[in-house]
Amino acid sequence: MNVKELLSLKNKVIVVTGGSGKYGKCIVEGLAEADATVITTSRDPKSAEGTAESFRQVGYDVHALVVDQAIPDSVNTLKQQITERFGRLDGFVNNAVSRPMKGYGAPLEQFELSMRDNATGMFHLLREMTDLIVRSGGGSVINIASMMGMKGPDLSNYEGTDMGDLPPDYFFHNAGLINLTRYMAKMHAGKNVRFNCISPGGLFNDQPEQFLKNYCKKVPLGRMANRDDIKGLVVLLASDAGAYINGENILMDGGLNA
């Protein structure tokens, strides 16, 4: 098959969680540009609809649905709505994250809240979306983790800033998500569903100047990720061009951790 056809997401229905967030918007945009029917989800209906509407205005097929992955009924409702409105699911980008924990010494309740969203809730949603994909005949699941799930913190990035009290939950659940990806790939052998993980580096978001200086001088490409960087990788993994990539974790950090 021609490589442009392999990369096309035409007629594929793909859900992106946290589609109104920083990386989420880039992911929705990339999938929509490759002709997917994208369902962007958010906890807040206004936010989800605002994102979907902004993409529809430029001609893309983007729809909004609401889910709070920490609430089991909300996950079940999302599954039902996808089935009723779209009749199938070909892809799931597991991108949402909550950051309730504010630092190493923060109350344990904040760690517990994080696990509710980023571990238990995330897994419930992952399992239900996988079930829909399997019932649709197969497809692709893409987990978005972080380079911080692969390494300990590099505290020198934060010298001269007040950003250095990094919360432990983020390192814990992102590392777990990377290995959960491998587990899912093996557990779904023979079901025509692929599971891969992307572990991005930091996305440029007007961080303090000192942090940018510290960070960018260590990146061989000399910069943070921009809003286009994740798009091609997500499209590759979601499309038939990535049909033989399964159980993989791809570090996307401009060479920072090379």
Ligand X SMILES: NC(=O)c1ccc[n+]([C@@H]2O[C@H](COP(=O)([O-])OP(=O)(O)OC[C@H]3O[C@@H](n4cnc5c(N)ncnc54)[C@H](O)[C@@H]3O)[C@@H](O)[C@H]2O)c1
Residue numbers of the site for ligand X (CB under 6 A)? Answer: 17-18, 20-24, 42-43, 67-70, 95-98, 117, 121, 144, 146, 174, 200, 202-203
In the complex, minimum distance from the CB of residue 11 to ligand X, in angstroms, rounded to a whole number:
26
The rounded Cα 211 to chain-centroid distance in angstroms is 24
Task: Look up tokens 């001088």; give the residue.
Answer: 217
Instruction: Copy the structure tokens of residue 32.
Output: 């929509």
SS3 61: coil
Specify the residue for token string 């991005």. 200
Nearest approach in angstroms of CB 231 to ligand X is 13
Query: Closest CB to ligand X among 174 and 181?
Result: 174
User: Quick one: 8 or 158, whose CB is closer to ligand X?
Assistant: 158
- Give the integer Cα–Cα distance in Å for 194 and 244: 8
Q: Which is nearer to ligand X, 5 or 44 (CB)?
A: 44
CB of 59 to ligand X, least distance (A): 24
Of 98 and 246, the one with the shorter C-beta distance to ligand X is 98
Compute the distance between CA of residue 82 and CA of residue 50 in angstroms, rounded to an integer: 19
Rank residues 24 and 242 by Cβ distance to ligand X and give the closer one. 24
Q: What are the CA-CA distances from residue 154 to residues 1, 104, 165, 238 (Å)?
A: 44, 15, 11, 31
CB 198 to ligand X: min, Å: 8
Q: Which is nearer to ligand X, 75 or 89 (CB)?
A: 75
d(CA 27, CA 58): 16
Token pair of 25 as six digits: 């918007």
Minimum distance, C-beta of residue 187 to ligand X, in the bound complex (Å) = 21
Measured from the CB of residue 70, what is the shortest distance to ligand X in angstroms? Answer: 4
CA atoms of 87 and 51, how far apart (whole Å)? 22
Distance from the Cα of residue 224 to its chain's centroid:
18
Q: Which residue is nearest to ligand X (CB)?
A: 21
Q: How far is the CB of 4 from ligand X (least distance, A)?
A: 28
* Cβ proximity of 246 and 139 under 8 Å: no
CB-nearer residue toward ligand X: 174 or 196: 174
